């Protein structure tokens, strides 16, 4: 299963991606986690991306796409993946399509997390990550609306909507049910 999760920050993509990755037996690949690991290590990439993460802005595509290209080349991603937080704009989506096509693969599904904005802001404030201050949260929601949401048109023919309100287990059951229909 090659699956992409799309939704506003705080929609619960990371939590569901972890569960689905275990249930489907494919790696969970989160660009946000990869970037935070680089920042934690103080690597070259980490130093370059920190300011973007702090500001709630998108890291430039070249850097992001290269990191994803390398991660998808790892053996464990050959049989599938749950991508969480990538692609986040139309250019990244095109690059992802190219990376997969080069291997004779394609996405199976793009799952869009539907959740009202007041619910996501509440979840983010409760989470308390360093980029979860009110200003940065607002900025990340704006970036989602302006840059990521338009990407959903690009994926119109493989888009699956999930109601992402409620408890973690309920949402996970909904996701599995929806994916079983994909085949």
Instruction: Report the interface residues with ligand AMP, using CB under 6 A.
Output: 9, 31-32, 35, 52-53, 56-59, 64, 85-86, 88, 92, 140
* Closest to ligand AMP by CB, 57 or 77: 57
* Closest to ligand AMP by CB, 7 or 109: 7
- Shortest Cβ 181–ligand AMP spacing (Å): 26
- Shortest Cβ 89–ligand AMP spacing (Å): 7
- Shortest Cβ 16–ligand AMP spacing (Å): 13
Tokens, residue 179: 């994916």
- Shortest Cβ 123–ligand AMP spacing (Å): 12
* Closest to ligand AMP by CB, 1 or 13: 13
Q: Supply the DSSP string of the chain, one letter for each residue.
A: -EEEEE--TTSSHHHHHHHHHHHHTS-EEEHHHHHHHHHHHT-HHHHHHHHHHHHTPPPPHHHHHHHHHHHHTSGGGTT-EEEES---SHHHHHHHHHHHHHTT----EEEEEE--HHHHHHHHHHH--TT-SHHHHHHHHHHIIIIITTHHHHTGGGEEEEE--S-HHHHHHHHHHHHHHH-
* Closest to ligand AMP by CB, 67 or 175: 67
* Closest to ligand AMP by CB, 64 or 112: 64
- Shortest Cβ 148–ligand AMP spacing (Å): 9
Give the Cα-Cα-Cα angle 126, 131, 137 (nearest 5 degrees): 70
Q: Shortest Cβ contact with ligand AMP: which residue?
A: 32
């Amino acid at each position: 299963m090659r699956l992409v999760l799309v939704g506003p920050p705080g929609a619960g993509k990371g939590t569901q991606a972890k569960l689905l990755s275990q249930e489907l037996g494919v790696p969970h690949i989160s660009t946000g986690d990869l970037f935070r690991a680089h920042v934690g290590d103080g690597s070259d990439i980490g130093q370059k991306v920190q300011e973007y993460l702090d500001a709630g802005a998108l890291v430039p595509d070249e850097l992001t796409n290269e990191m994803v290209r390398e991660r998808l080349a790892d053996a464990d991603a050959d049989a599938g993946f749950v991508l969480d937080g990538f692609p986040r704009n139309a250019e990244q989506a095109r690059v992802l399509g190219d990376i997969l096509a080069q291997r004779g693969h394609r996405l199976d599904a793009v799952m869009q997390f539907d959740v009202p904005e007041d619910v996501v802001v509440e979840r983010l404030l409760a989470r308390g990550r360093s980029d979860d201050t009110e200003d940065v949260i607002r900025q990340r929601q704006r970036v989602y609306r302006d840059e990521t949401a338009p990407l959903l048109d690009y994926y119109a023919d493989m888009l699956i909507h999930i109601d992402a309100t409620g408890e973690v287990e309920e949402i996970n059951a909904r996701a599995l049910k929806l994916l079983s229909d994909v085949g």
